[in-house]
Structure 1
Amino acid sequence: MGTTDETLPFFTQFFQFQASFDDLPAFMFFVVATAIASGYLALSLPFSLVSIFRPHAQGIRLLLIISDTVMLALTTAGAASATAIVYLAHNGNSSANWIAICQQFTDFCQSVSGAVVASFIAVVIFMLLVMMSALALRKH
């Protein structure tokens, strides 16, 4: 998503239409939320390893499940905001006089749609992670 942009020439090369992810705040929120969640996953890896090697460390497990739940909420919010804009890009909104742009910016729309689908896959993985963490915490 962070590298998605497309430029269409209109009559001449000096007059062009451009679509970029940073044109819309919802896409910027999506990129920032996904980056935060990715950074969290990298930083939480040592804590996860400690909880594996020390199964009786309840504090670390509780910290991880709370943090995983926060990242789940953040990832869901980012994906939902981007989904609303992708829907408008594909279908438009006649009540607000917004036209669908995906007929003109096909590469842009395909890239953005793919990023949103991948983000919802990440949401499902986070859900599974939270459930597995909760079950592991309950066992001990």
Structure 2
Amino acid sequence: MSTSEAATVLPVYDVAPGQGEPSKAPGAAAAPSAPPAAPAAATKTTARSFPMRLFHRSDRGSRCMAFLDFLLRIAAFGPLLAAAIATGTSDETLSVFTEFYQFRARFDDFPAFLFLLVASAVAAGYLVLSLPFSAFVVLRPQTTILRFLLLVSDTIVLALLTSAAAAATAIVALAHNGNERANWVPICMQFHGFCQRTSGAVVASFLSVVIFVLLVVLAAFAIRKR
């Protein structure tokens, strides 16, 4: 074979198994692949749209009013219980007379005091029964139906308690001052314990009336806000 003959060069390609295209030359620069930006943006958007809060900020005011309602119901129970106990234990007997001839002052002789005792006991029992519902409203402040039921019930008990306290106030004023035109003498000059207990019961009942008024106003404002 002579040196003047041209050598025939056959190109050889490296082909990966299972592929039909040859690989590029070692010296060729590979184009950099850009990272996908869409998944990262979607993840960021999802993280922003998902709130990591247990309660919404808009429910904080409603929850505070519901908690105040719960505290007012507890506060109203004490005066009501005191009014019922003071009225029921207000009987007094004058000890200056003999055993066969005595003067007594009993609360059940006056329908107004008996009405006050029953109304105070009913209102106190209602407050105890309404405490679980008020606590549920604290946990779920967006509940409007339960608030409305408590508002209606509070209004009914408020009317009952106000009428009983007003009637008892008239009898207490008559016991302290009497009535000259009707020839009724004041009995508080003799029955001091009876008048003190009944007067205290009237004051406690009116204090509970004020608390019930606050409950009604607070419930109406909370329903209007929702």
Same fold (TM over 0.5): yes
Structure 2 residue 121 is matched with structure 1 residue 17: no
AA partner of residue 132 (structure 2): P
> Aligned residues, how many?
140
**CA deviation after TM superposition for structure 1 residue 12, in Å:** 2.0
Matched with 2:212 is 126
Deviations 1:91-116 (A, max 9, x none): 11112221110000011101110110
Q: In structure 2, the residue corresponding to 1:14 is in which secondary structure?
A: coil
Q: Tell me the amino acid that sits aligned with residue 106 of structure 1.
A: H
Amino acid at match of 2:134: S
Q: In proportion to residue count, which structure has more strand?
A: 1
Match of 1:111 in 2: 197
Is the contact between residue 7 and residue 19 of structure 1 (CA under 8 Å) also seen in structure 2?
yes
Which has the larger helix fraction?
Answer: 1
Report the Cα distance in structure 1 between the residues aligned to 2:97 and 2:133, rounded to whole angstroms: 57
Q: CA deviation at 1:11?
A: 3.6
After TM superposition, what 4+ stretches of structure 1 lie above 4 angstroms from structure 2?
Answer: none
DSSP 3-state at the match of 1:95? coil
1:64 to 137, 142, 150: 150
Return the letter of the residue paired with 1:74: L
Offset of 1:10 from its aligned partner? 4.4
**1:51 to partner: Cα distance:** 1.4
The answer to whether the Cα contact below 8 Å between 1:34 and 1:75 also exists between their aligned partners in 2 is yes
Q: How far apart, in 2, do the equivalents of 1:12 and 1:66 lie? A: 53
Residue 34 (1) aligns with residue 120 (2): yes
Q: Is the 8 A contact 1:9 1:15 kept in 2?
A: no
Q: Is the counterpart of residue 88 in structure 1 residue 174 in structure 2? A: yes
Q: Deviation per CA, 1:114-138: give whole Å up to 9, x if none.
A: 1101111111111111111111112
Q: Deviations over 1:44-64 (max 9, x none)?
A: 111111111111211100000
The gaps in structure 2 that reach 5 residues or longer are 1-86
TM-score by length of 2: 0.60
Distance 2:95 2:169 in 1: 27
| Other structure's SS at 2:134 match | helix
1:22-58, Cα deviation, whole Å (9 max, x unpaired): 1111110111011111111011111111111111211
2:100 paired with 1:2? no
2:135 is equivalent to residue 49 of structure 1? yes
Between the aligned residues of both structures, percent identity stands at: 61
2:225 is aligned with 1:139: yes
